[in-house]
Amino acid sequence: MSAVARRQACNDTIGVDKGQLDRLLGYAIARANFVGDATFHAAVRDRSVTPLRYAMLEVVGSNPGLLQVQLGETLALSRPTVTMLLDYWQSHGCIERRSTPIDRRSFGIFLTAIGSARLADLRACACVHDRELSLGLTASERAELKRLLDKLAGTAN
């Protein structure tokens, strides 16, 4: 049984008490996140492209030449994590590390032609996925959910 199927079956589970879990905002967020993650692979039709890998390619594409440490800051990732994410995309021919003349310790990260095409495709898939994710919500509900999540992430300590 797949994760998605399990999640659906779980919604139908009756007679089992989750204790205070159902009153916790954190649990509701985790559950929504689980749904988004579980359906992402199918949406991009490539099990190896995870939401985070896609996010990294998105930031690289929007900021040519950014240093690895800056990519990490943007997505709140440690340096080793950035290294591994970029290793993945480099091994797939989608990005390249270019030495910078200013500081020879660091690299500027750039999309390749292959990477540009891949990103364009993934962007479209991610948009479709995101729309499907909120199919049960009205447009205004979706907007309000987005606003509240952004506010929470921006103000939480």
Residue 125 · residue 44 · CB < 8 Å: yes
Q: Within 10 Å of residue 110's Cβ, how many Cβ atoms?
A: 17
Which positions touch DNA (CB under 7 A)?
A: 1-3, 6, 34, 48, 50-53, 67-69, 76-88, 97, 103-107
**Of residues 60 and 86, the one with the C-beta less far from DNA:** 86
Which of DNA, a second copy, none sits in contact with 114, Cβ below 5 to 8 A by type? none
* Residues in contact with 107: Cβ distance below 8 Å, sequence separation at least 6, in sequence order: 67, 68, 97, 98, 99, 100
Residue with tokens 């479709």: 128
Which of a second copy, DNA, none sits in contact with 48, Cβ below 5 to 8 A by type? DNA
Residue type, 62: S
**Of residues 9 and 114, the one with the C-beta less far from a second copy:** 9
Min CB(117)–a second copy separation in Å? 15
Which of DNA, a second copy, none sits in contact with 128, Cβ below 5 to 8 A by type? none
**Of residues 7 and 92, the one with the C-beta less far from a second copy:** 7
Residue 75 · residue 66 · CB < 8 Å: no
